């Protein structure tokens, strides 16, 4: 500060003497004088403060010794502190390392807790694959993809798992498709057994209902079957109850399609393909394979017409096929539809009708045709119970009925020929009342004049007349058997019986008579007896009409009831031939 002041004072005079001569010398003189004044002032000041300075130095010297001592103590303390701090530093470094390890461990645990559920679920997936729980495995895959994998997608093992899932899905599809093929093969093999049990169940239900209806009819005094011309005896209700109980026991034993076939493969395969989003492919494959199997089932054996077992096996396979389809329709959603089954059934029905038309035309045994009809009825009733329309099958039965009647007519033509050949063409002798009653029980003969005569006596007709009458009634019974269970009204059955009986009389019996009277060994006496026989048979037509009426409960006064008119034709034929014979004689 003093120096600054001094400089300032020096500069100012210099500026004062700047314009004068010898300015520099004068300035220097003035400056020296100023310096001397200041030196004197400094000396005075120092003299004034010297004693205080000396005292301060003295105090400082005294403090010096204490400072040295303090320095030694501080140095020693520092040394001891440094020695103690080395262990603390080492332990601190250890703590730091431990904290780092703890943090790392915590991080690892967190990551493991994040990864372990993924690994556990993937292990669960592998276990499900091993035990063939494929649907559950697909659900596990969905959980892995949607929930687990996004959390650990940064790890390499997760990428490996992600890449492996499509392979597992394809493996599941292949395995499930293999199971489906085994299932299709299984139902193909078991379709006849399934159909057999289904038809048996339908038949037992039908028998049960029929027995119940009989019991109800008996309770009201009604009768269903007629023996000869009289009302049959009423059966014991206890027998009917026993039959009903037996039917119920058998019905309980009948297995269903689900009991015979394990449907789980098709359920599992459907679920799997649905989860994989490929249900349409599965549906198309299933329907395609079932169509192929349907064509195989509908293909009959070449010798099917030879035995009823051939027809039974054919029908059982078809029923089994459609029972399975009906089961699949009702227990699955969308695998097959009602429209699909209806289309398949219509195709099958056309094929079935064509096959039955062809093979039934080869049947010449009426018993076999009748058994075929019964099988068709059971077949139709069974499938109708599952909701399939069967009206065309019953229409087919009317075609087969005509064929059945033709086979009956051929069979009865042989019977009529045998009866005519065995006849002696002489009146029937009866020696006592018992023999007379035997003949009357076979043929409705009434002659009051003959009744007044004493035994022995002769009936006007020959032995062939009661035998022919009995055979005509047997023909009606045989024709009636085919009309049963056709779901037709009594009027239609009555009309069918009368028409078939007329055919028997006008065509078969007439033809046999024509062939008989044309034989050279038939003389005039035999011709006369044949005319007499024909007259009695013509008169018996009224009783045959009553016989049919008793069976069908349709009154003859009904407008649409047909009449038996055949034997009037026989009589005219016989008269014509007799006239020709007489003319030739």
pLDDT band at 313 (very low <50, low <70, confident <90, very high): very high
Of all residues in the chain, what percent carry a pLDDT higher than 90? 21
100-110: average pLDDT: 90
**CB contact at 8 A, 198 and 323:** yes
* Secondary element (H or E) of residue 39: helix 23-130
Phi and psi dihedrals of 276, rounded to 5? -80, 0
Cis before 212? omega within 30: no
C-alpha atoms less than 13 angstroms from C-alpha of 368 in its C-beta half-sphere: 17
User: Measured between alpha carbons, how far is 361 from 369 in angstroms, rounded to an integer?
Assistant: 10
Mean pLDDT of the chain: 81
Q: Between 552 and 565, whose confidence is greater?
A: 552
C-alpha separations of 75 from 63, 66, 85, 296, 350 in Å: 18, 14, 15, 113, 121
Instruction: Select the highest-mean-pLDDT range: 405-414, 436-445, 501-510.
Output: 405-414
Contacts of 248 (CB under 8 A, 6+ apart): 208
Q: Which of 98-107, 186-195, 338-347 has the lowest mean pLDDT?
A: 186-195
The DSSP secondary-structure symbol of 235 reads: P
Positive or negative, the CA dihedral 33, 34, 38, 39 is negative
Residue given tokens 């989003």 in the structure block = 277
What angle is formed at CA 372 by the lines to CA 367 and CA 207, rounded to 5 degrees?
95
Mode of pairing for the β-strands spanning 428-430 and 457-459: antiparallel
pLDDT band at 567 (very low <50, low <70, confident <90, very high): low
Tokens of 451: 């009744």
Tokens of 421: 């050949």
**For position 239, what pLDDT does the model report?**
41
42-50: average pLDDT: 82
User: Measured between alpha carbons, how far is 388 from 348 in angstroms, rounded to an integer?
Assistant: 11
- Residue 430: name the closest of 415, 418, 442 by CA: 442
**For position 270, what pLDDT does the model report?**
86
Phi and psi dihedrals of 197, rounded to 5? -70, -40
- Reading phi first (left if > 0) and then psi (alpha if -120 to 50, else beta), residue 549 is in alpha
CB atoms inside a 10 Å sphere around CB 426? 13
**CB contact at 8 A, 195 and 315:** yes
- Reading phi first (left if > 0) and then psi (alpha if -120 to 50, else beta), residue 497 is in alpha
Q: Which residues pair with 430 in a beta bridge?
A: 457
**CB contact at 8 A, 310 and 301:** yes
User: Measured between alpha carbons, how far is 450 from 435 in angstroms, rounded to an integer?
Assistant: 14
DSSP secondary structure string for all residues of 46-63: HHHHHHHHHHHHHHHHHH
Q: Note every long-range contact of 473-478, with CB atoms under 8 Å and residues 24 or more positions apart, other chains counting.
A: 473/228, 473/544, 473/547, 475/408, 475/412, 475/500, 475/501, 475/504, 476/500, 476/501, 476/544, 476/547, 476/548, 476/551, 478/366, 478/370, 478/408
pLDDT band at 267 (very low <50, low <70, confident <90, very high): confident
Q: Which of 47-61, 211-225, 524-538 has the lowest mean pLDDT?
A: 211-225
**For position 230, what pLDDT does the model report?**
36
User: Measured between alpha carbons, how far is 499 from 564 in angstroms, rounded to an integer?
Assistant: 8
- Residue 393: name the closest of 353, 359, 345 by CA: 353
259-285: average pLDDT: 85
Residue given tokens 């100012």 in the structure block = 12
* Secondary element (H or E) of residue 459: strand 457-459
pLDDT band at 344 (very low <50, low <70, confident <90, very high): very high
């Amino acid at each position: 500060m003093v120096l600054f002041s001094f400089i300032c004072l020096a500069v100012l005079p210099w500026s004062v003497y700047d314009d004068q001569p010898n300015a520099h010398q004068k300035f220097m003189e003035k400056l020296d004088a100023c310096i001397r004044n200041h030196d004197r002032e400094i000396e005075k000041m120092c003299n004034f403060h010297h004693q205080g300075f000396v005292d301060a130095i003295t105090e400082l010297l005294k403090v010096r010794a204490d400072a040295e001592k303090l320095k030694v103590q501080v140095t020693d303390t520092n040394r001891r502190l440094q020695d103690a701090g080395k262990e603390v530093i080492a332990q601190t470094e250890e703590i730091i390392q431990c904290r780092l390890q703890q943090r790392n461990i915590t991080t690892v645990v967190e990551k493991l807790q994040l990864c372990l559920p993924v690994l556990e679920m993937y292990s669960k997936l592998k276990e499900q694959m091993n035990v063939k729980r494929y649907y559950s495995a697909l659900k596990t895959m969905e959980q892995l993809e949607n929930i687990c994998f996004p959390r650990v997608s940064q790890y390499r093992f997760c990428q490996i798992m992600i890449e492996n899932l499509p392979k597992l899905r394809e493996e599941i599809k292949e395995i499930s498709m293999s199971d489906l093929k085994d299932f299709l093969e299984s139902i193909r093999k078991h379709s006849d057994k399934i159909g057999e049990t289904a038809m048996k169940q339908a038949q037992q239900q039908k028998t049960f209902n029929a027995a119940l209806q009989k019991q109800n009819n008996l309770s009201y005094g009604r009768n269903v079957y007629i023996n000869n011309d009289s009302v049959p005896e009423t059966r014991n209700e206890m027998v009917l109850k026993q039959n009903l109980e037996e039917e119920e026991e058998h019905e309980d034993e009948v297995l269903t399609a689900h009991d015979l076939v394990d449907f789980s493969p098709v359920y599992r395969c459907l679920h799997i393909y649905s989860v994989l989003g490929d249900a349409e492919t599965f549906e198309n494959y299933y329907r395609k394979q079932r169509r192929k199997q349907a064509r195989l089932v509908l293909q009959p054996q070449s010798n099917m017409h030879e035995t009823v077992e051939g027809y039974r096996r054919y029908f059982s396979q078809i029923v089994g096929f459609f029972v399975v389809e009906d089961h699949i329709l009702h227990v699955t959603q969308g695998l097959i539809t009602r429209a699909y089954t209806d289309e398949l059934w219509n195709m099958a029905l056309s094929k079935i009708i064509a096959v039955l038309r062809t093979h039934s035309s080869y049947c010449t045994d009426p018993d076999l045709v009748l058994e075929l009809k019964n099988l068709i009825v059971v077949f139709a009733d069974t499938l109708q119970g599952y909701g399939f329309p069967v009206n065309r099958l019953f229409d087919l039965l009317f075609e087969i009925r005509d064929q059945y009647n033709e086979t009956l007519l051929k069979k009865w033509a042989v019977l009529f020929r045998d009866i005519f050949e065995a006849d002696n063409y002489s009146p029937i002798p009866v020696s006592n009342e018992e023999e007379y009653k035997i003949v009357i029980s076979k043929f409705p003969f009434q002659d009051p004049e003959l009744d007044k005569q004493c035994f022995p006596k002769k009936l006007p007709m020959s032995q062939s007349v009661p035998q022919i009458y009995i055979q005509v009634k047997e023909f009606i019974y045989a024709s009636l058997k085919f009309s049963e269970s056709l779901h037709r009204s009594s009027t239609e059955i009555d009309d069918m019986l009368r028409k078939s009986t007329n055919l028997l009389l006008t065509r078969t019996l007439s033809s046999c008579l024509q062939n008989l009277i044309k034989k050279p060994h038939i003389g005039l006496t035999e011709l006369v007896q044949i005319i007499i026989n024909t007259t009695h048979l013509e008169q018996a037509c009224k009783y045959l009409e009553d016989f049919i009426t008793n069976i069908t409960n349709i009154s003859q006064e009904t407008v649409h009831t047909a009449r038996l008119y055949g034997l009037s034709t026989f009589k005219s034929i016989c008269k014509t031939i007799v006239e020709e014979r007489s003319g030739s004689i």
